[in-house]
Amino acid sequence: MRFLDCNAWLGISPVRQVAPVLTTSEFVETMRREGVDGALVWHVAQYYDGPTPGNEMLAEEIAPHPELTGSWAILPDADWEMPSPDELFRRMRNARIRALRAFPARHGFFLDGLYCGKTLGAIVENRVPLFLSMRRGTDYASVYSLLREFPRLRVVLCDHSEYSPDRHLLTLMRNFPNLYLDTTCFGLHGHIERFAREFGPERLLFGSGFPEIPFKTTIYEMERLDLPEDARAAIAGGNLERLLSEVRL
């Protein structure tokens, strides 16, 4: 099975870790050793330090590593740090960036039409997936508002808690077909299978949460899912590959 991780990050968090990954080379070596073929990554500086320095650091870090693709963080349209959509896409193309992220609570804005309408409208049209972390910078009320306003936006929710508030997830998944979930700490016992059966395996993406969580922990579970082989393969990597291939920059 080919594993492509949609939710891993580079850099060193200011918050203590038991086993930090100090360099991107070490990240890539660990990834290979643990059986992951490629990853869509972000840089932890995007969250803590901000999108401008973090996006630049991410582009520099992934440049020598073809198995890594990047996701940049966005800010409101009016922010002087935020380029126009055309300019953003041009820079993304040049830096192997195929997805975007937003951390609205951390970065002090609302992820909606008023604050980010131009950018969000453009990423809908260009099918750029937007990754949102339930641990970092958003909540379910904000996700619901965003999807109500931009139902065609391809949103991937990441970093779920083990104690999953799945009433939110079930309702949002039923009503917004462009919503996807990653597998990082996903849900109560058996929920990957349950969500795959109810919404189709194409709405789930393998995500590890590395380097906080080992790649291997999620792989261990993925390999034992009570799902057909093709469904497991789609979750492991096929779905991310498809989403990224449909991006128009």
Partner 1 sequence: MFPGIYDTHIHVGWHAPGVFEGSRGETLLRDMDRAGVLQAWCCHTSALWTPSRGNRDTLALVRSHPERLRGLMVVYPQYPEVTSRALAEFDSNRRWWIGLKLHPSAHRHPLSGTGYERALAFADERRLIVLVHTWGDGHIQEDYSWQQEIRGLNGHEELRRVLERYHDAIFIAGHSLNGHWEHAAKLVRGFPNLFLEISTVNDRGAIAWLCERAGSDRILFGSDYPFVSMRYTRGTVEIADITGADRENIFRRNVERLLARVEKG
Q: Which residues bind partner 1 (CB under 8 A)?
A: 17-19, 134-136, 139, 161-167, 170, 185, 187-191, 194, 209-214, 216-218, 220-221, 224, 226
Residue 66 CB, nearest approach to partner 1 (Å): 24
Q: In terms of Cα–Cα distance, which of 145, 39, 59, 43 is closest to 101? A: 43
Q: How far is the CB of 90 from partner 1 (least distance, A)?
A: 34
Dist CA 107 CA 96 (whole Å):
24
Cα 145-107-104 angle, rounded to 5 deg: 15
Residue among 150 and 186 whose Cβ is closer to partner 1: 186
Query: In the complex, what is the shortest distance from the CB of residue 128 to partner 1, in angstroms, rounded to a whole number?
Result: 26
Compute the least distance from the CB of residue 6 to partner 1, in Å.
18
Closest to partner 1 by CB, 96 or 194? 194
Distances (CA, A) of 85 to 46, 76, 122, 148, 185: 19, 11, 6, 22, 33
Q: CB nearer to partner 1: give 139 or 246.
A: 139
Q: Cα dist. 171→19, 165, 167, 195, 211 in Å? A: 37, 11, 6, 12, 30
Listed residue (132, 125, 69) closest to 106, CA to CA = 132
Smallest distance from partner 1 to CB 169, Å: 9
Which is nearest to 164 in space by CA: 137, 140, 188?
188
**CB closer to partner 1 out of 116 and 222:** 222
Cβ atoms of 171 and 179 within 8 Å: the answer is: no
Cβ closer to partner 1: 98 or 136? 136
The smaller minimum CB distance to partner 1, of residues 87 and 139, is found at 139
CB of 9 to partner 1, least distance (A): 12
Our CB check for partner 1 shows the closer of 160 and 203 to be 160
- Return the number of other C-beta atoms located less than 10 Å from residue 59's C-beta: 18
Q: Please answer whether residues 59 and 92 qualify as being in contact, where contact means their C-beta atoms are separated by less than 8 angstroms.
A: no
C-beta of 138: minimal distance to partner 1 in Å? 10
What is the residue whose two structure tokens read 């009570």? 226
* Spacing of C-alpha 102 from chain mean position: 10
